[in-house]
Structure 1
Amino acid sequence: MSAYKRVFQLGFDAYSSSLVNKFGSRQISQLVKSNGKRAFLVDTLALVRSLEAQGVPSKQAEAITAAITEVLNDSLENVSHSFVSKAEMQKTEMLQEANLSKFKSEVKSSQDYHFSMLQRETEKLRGDIEKMRSELRYEIDKVTAGQRLDLNLERGRIRDELANQNAETTNLTNKLDREIHALRAQLEAAKYDVIKYCIGTLVSISAVGLAVLRILM
């Protein structure tokens, strides 16, 4: 087992040196298998010949080359998963730009919707205020008209009361005048009767006096 490990390490070192010497900084080609994994193309013939040149039997060299190729493919596959290709980056950028544009569109639509709702609420509030103002003006006019009507009725009532009082005063004055005239007439009549009575009394006394004088004489 340890001998196999040494041979495998020897083959891997030979393969690495072969890659450095023959390929330099040239990139390793790759294909995509049917299962979705990448297959990196390496020069296995050069590796086998390098191992054979170091004394490794042909079959072992081919087995080591196959094992190294498999390990290398797995390692490079794992490394490739850690990086993103330019196409994938462009695709991601396009997706992000599309999402950003969609987000901007949604934000603008939301702003327009809320602005429209705010305008409708403002118009509704303005209409309610105008309605309340009209109702308040109507109530004020109604109260003012009622107060004016009550004031006019009160003025008419006071005017009627004053007219009634003036009429009653006039009636009382006329009645007093009539009573005064009646009293004056009665006084004049009584005065005339007293004068008549006094004159009659004087005449009677004079007649009696004359009769007495005649009798005495």
Structure 2
Amino acid sequence: MSSILSQPTTSRAGALLAMSLARPVTRIALPAYKSRTFHSTPTSRISHFDTFLFAEKLEKNGMTRKQAEGVMSVLAEVVDESIRGMETSLVSKADQEKQRYTEKVDFARLKSELQLHEKNDLTLMKAENDRLMADVEKLKQRLREEVTRTQAGVRLDLNLEKGRIRDESSQQELKIKEVDTRIESEIAGLRTQIEQAKFSILQYLVGVATGSGALLLAYMRMMR
């Protein structure tokens, strides 16, 4: 009991409980009665503990019935006040439903915003992809034009080189023909000179043979 009095009280019900316990307890001889006939004063509130058992324990510790009922009433008020204080700090079911509905609305709004952002991102990504594809097609077209221009330039250079080689070949053939003609003319001149030399030698041999024959005939005539 002294431990209950030593605890600090912060409510009106706690003060009443302390005052009732602080009164001097006088032991009065009471007539014998059956404990089962004892009952607390009916109240409109619901007790959160067994008041009958609590009153019996107080009477066993030396309190009278009236004191036990007073302590029990004050303690019931303290418990009720504590429970009401706890209930005020708790969230009601309606508040929970309201909070849940608010969270659902916020979640739906967030989901809608995310879907909208995702749709916008997809649209931007598609537009960027289309722009990149258009740039790639432009680059391909430019590359094809460059390749065509390069091929045309290479073909032109090859044709010019072929023409130059053909011209050089023609010039070389003309030079070769000129050399052949010159060689043939020189060979013909040499043949003519050889024929003339042969004819001259033949004339010389005929002259020598004729002179020798004339000398031989003259010698034979002289020998006769």
TM-score range, shorter chain: 0.5 to 0.7
Per-residue Cα deviation, 1:144-197 (whole angstroms, up to 9, x for no partner): 334434432443243234323321231122112212221222123223322332
What is the identity, as a one-letter code, of the residue corresponding to 2:114? Answer: V
Structure 1 residue 99: Cα displacement: 0.7
SS of 1:19's equivalent?
Answer: coil
What is the identity, as a one-letter code, of the residue corresponding to 1:19? Answer: S
Q: Between 206-215 and 187-196, report the one with greater CA deviation.
A: 206-215
Paired with 2:167 and 2:43, the residues of 1 have a C-alpha distance of 137
In structure 2, the residue matched to 1:178 is 185
Aligned residues between the structures: 171
The answer to whether the aligner puts 1:199 opposite 2:219 as a matched pair is no
Percent of pairs with identical residues: 26
Paired with 1:127 and 1:149, the residues of 2 have a C-alpha distance of 33
RMSD over equivalenced CA pairs, Å: 4.2
In structure 1, the residue matched to 2:21 is 2
The answer to whether the aligner puts 1:104 opposite 2:111 as a matched pair is yes
SS of 2:92's equivalent?
Answer: coil
What is the identity, as a one-letter code, of the residue corresponding to 2:166? Answer: R
Structure 1 residue 102: Cα displacement: 1.8
Query: Could you tell me which of 105, 113, 124 is aligned with 2:120?
Result: 113
The answer to whether the aligner puts 1:79 opposite 2:104 as a matched pair is no
In structure 2, the residue matched to 1:162 is 169
Paired with 2:202 and 2:214, the residues of 1 have a C-alpha distance of 18
Q: Between 199-208 and 67-76, report the one with greater CA deviation.
A: 67-76
Q: TM-score, normalised by structure 1?
A: 0.56
Paired with 1:131 and 1:169, the residues of 2 have a C-alpha distance of 56
Structure with greater contact order relative to length (CA < 8 Å, sep ≥ 6) = 2
Structure 1 residue 18: Cα displacement: 3.6
Query: Could you tell me which of 92, 100, 114 is aligned with 2:99?
Result: 92
What is the identity, as a one-letter code, of the residue corresponding to 2:178? Answer: N
What is the identity, as a one-letter code, of the residue corresponding to 2:200? Answer: D
What is the identity, as a one-letter code, of the residue corresponding to 1:76? Answer: R
